[in-house]
Amino acid sequence: MFEQEDKKINPAAPPPVPAAPLAASAKPVPPGPAALTLKNAKAPIVLPEIHTMPEKLIGAPAGRAPVVREVVVTKEQKVAMPAPPRPPAKKKGNLILIITLVVVLLGVGASLVILYVPFGKKVPVANLNVNVPPPPVNVNTNVNTNVNENVNVNENANVNVPPPLPRSGPDADSDGLTDVEETTIYMSNPLNPDTDGDSFSDGNEVLHLFDPTKKSPAMLKDSVNIRVANNAAEGYAVLTPASWAERGSGTDQYFVDAPSGEFFEVLATPKPATQTIMDWYLATSPDAKASDVTSFKTYKGLDALRSGDRLTAYLDLGDKVLTVTYNLNGLTDYNFLTTFEMVIASIDRYKP
Ligand SMILES: [Ca+2]
Ligand SMILES: [Ca+2]
Ligand SMILES: [Ca+2]
């Protein structure tokens, strides 16, 4: 095959000449390139090295110099050299296929952009802002159905501030009796709180109807200094200072006047026996209020009311009310407040 092709390529080439035996003196051709001029070559061709085949391979007889064959490689032979192995066409095909697909996809994308994006309009830029929803607003839908039942009641509005107690006269020994009372009514010692020395003060004894100048059980009704006034017509009895003048108007009004001008009055007023003293008091006037008075029981056990200034008392005698009043009669100091309390304490039903 090789020779046949060689013949076809260069038919004009002369048949190979058998190599002439080299002279003994001939020097062996040194290896290296040799410049040969081909028949049709325009330029000298540098031939490859000429290799010397070992003699045993070319069948040289022993003792003979090895035959050196010159192998001439023609241009055509060089051209006919097999090309280096190419990469598998399959891989190249895959690469081409991938590139084709990418190009197709890019084309499709570009077509879509052209179709759906109107010309002359700005291409909207993707909104990268994230809308954060506003915080929820709590709406109170509860309806307050509570009813404020608390009502502020000013309980002080209708309470009359009681007037200051009457200013009492001097009491040197602080036994509850003024110096005037001790020296003009009871004849006790104004400088000794316990005149009779029974351990009870002079003032305390008078309030309980005892004689402060004599040891218990000496009573005021038995004292020469005290008068027992019986009002049989009105049905009551009362103790009054013996030194005070009595006067009266009819049977319902009884007065006793102090030498200084002050006086006490006892007024008898009929009332239904079943009516309480408070009901009677409230019925006396549209302006009368229960808060105006204070209920109390007298020393003799009568139901009674006392005014805020302690200068009037209402005593319940059943079918009558006794109104006892301390009248200062223009004076400034009350010198007989304890004596006034003694009169109220002494009032009792008349007992013939
Ligand atoms: Ca006194
Ligand atoms: Ca005294
Ligand atoms: Ca006493």
pLDDT one-digit tens code per residue, 104-145: 888 887 777 666 655 544 445 455 566 666 666 677 677 766
Amino acid at the residue 64: R
Query: Among 277, 279, 278, 282, which Cα is nearest to 321's?
Result: 277
Residues with CB under 5 A from ligand 3 (ion): 194, 196, 198, 200
Distance CA 307, CA 296 (A): 11
Residue 259 Cα to ligand 2 midpoint, Å, equals 21
Would the pTM of this model clear 0.85, i.e. be above it?
Answer: no
Given a cut of 70, the residues of the chain with pLDDT beneath it are: 1-91, 113-137, 140, 144-165
pLDDT score recorded for residue 48: 52
Task: Return the SS3 of 77.
Answer: helix
pLDDT score for 259: 95
**What pLDDT, on a 0 to 100 scale, did the predictor assign at position 151?**
59
Residue 305's pLDDT is: 98
The pLDDT of residue 103 is: 85
In angstroms, what is the span from residue 124 Cα to ligand 1's centroid? 114
Nearest ligand for residue 191 CA: 2
Numbered ranges of CATH 3.40.1000.10 in the chain = 225-349
Q: pLDDT at position 284, please? A: 93
Quick one: 168 exposed, middle or buried, by C-beta within 10 A (0-12, 13-18, 19+)?
middle
Q: For 30-66, what is each residue's pLDDT tens digit?
A: 444 444 444 444 555 555 555 555 555 554 444 455 4
Judged by its nearest atom, the ligand closest to the C-alpha of residue 205 is 3
Domain 225-349 CATH superfamily: Mog1/PsbP, alpha/beta/alpha sandwich (3.40.1000.10)
Å from CA of 236 to ligand 1 middle? 30
Distance CA 305, CA 341 (A): 13
Using the mean position of ligand 1's atoms as its centre, give its distance from the Cα of residue 194 in Å. Answer: 9
Q: Alpha-carbon torsion 82, 83, 88, 94, what sign?
A: negative
* Dihedral sign of CA atoms 172, 175, 181, 186 in order: negative
Please tell me the number of the ligand nearest to residue 179's CA.
Answer: 1
